[in-house]
Structure 1
């Protein structure tokens, strides 16, 4: 019963689209109406407002971390085991991808996935973040960095902790993240993908 409640709460937390909320607070256009039309930090950055992009990034990452941290910190006393934590991790990520508060039009999940990984284990999150930073710095393609980091995240988990239900949750998130980047993959192949910092048209 408590596990189901935790999963629902995690989904609702994930459904808070900080790209939309922050853009509204900064008086910017809805990020779903320009650029990639993706409500995420990278697209908000195309507005030219770096502060809004940073707030979006931190907010989306924080909600992923918060849901997992709460499940780990208080779950045991409510009978929430590792399977429950895994479900919470996936639920908050799904909330970001398909938010109930925003007509199920969400982002691609990079920042939220990072927050989840940091919640599961800081070293896991930092290793994945380092992978993203290296690829993003080398190529200036946020999407390519996200795809490569998504590939390595389950491998990092398996190397650090071995296969278990939480590794399965990380794998599911990685697979969903790749799915959400399917248009970016096509754009990368066609040489049409936007680089980090490019302005909206």
Structure 2
């Protein structure tokens, strides 16, 4: 695919949107402690939940997902007027995801990206997002490990895309590579969780230990 100025601008803006760390923003707006100062130190909804403020955690989760969904949705449905299509939308989603992981506004120290990745998948296709989210939910309910659910869901996301290719959505090499990149980065960001899972020391959902 060839790039032109509107595509590059859209991708950069998507990264900047992704760089909004809502775990920190929501916590500050509610007068709460910085989520990077307790628990795992991870600026994400799971760690905010450890503050005991379920509303703040839910707001963080939804806003983190929204910032991944928004650029993909806008480009998919309105980008044609600017010469942008499906591939640019996927790359914008990847940029938003990278913004969450490495936010320019917060010293490039971000969260693990699960909610933002979910938003990106929903933006690419609702069924893809729901299938991946359903996988997360099933694993989380049965095993009570948020990290394990995230890792398995990340692994299956590209597979779900391929399974639905040509039926539910058109296949695109750029979209597939984008999904693989997001999945690998998610797994990489959970590397400490993987070590703790292997050692049997990983905390379960509802625990106040590190995630």
- TM-score category by the smaller chain? over 0.9
Instruction: Name 1:8's counterpart in structure 2.
Output: 12
TM-score normalized by structure 2?
0.92
Deviation of the 1:200 alpha carbon:
5.6
TM-score normalized by structure 1?
0.96
Instruction: Name 2:194's counterpart in structure 1.
Output: 185
Alignment of 1:1-201 (within 5 A): 1-161=5-165, 162=171, 164-199=173-208
Deviations 1:93-127 (A, max 9, x none): 00000001111110000000000000010000000
Show structure 1 runs of 5+ residues with no match.
Answer: none
Q: Say if 1:47 and 1:200, in contact at 8 Å, map to a contact too.
A: no
Ranges of 4+ aligned residues in structure 1 off by more than 3 Å: none
Q: Say if 2:71 and 2:89, in contact at 8 Å, map to a contact too.
A: no
**2: CA distance, partners of 1:46 / 1:198:** 8
The alignment covers a number of residue pairs equal to 201
Q: Say if 1:16 and 1:99, in contact at 8 Å, map to a contact too.
A: yes
Deviations 1:145-185 (A, max 9, x none): 00000000000011112453212111110011011111111
Secondary structure in 1 matching 2:154: helix
Higher relative contact order (CA 8 A, sep 6+): 1
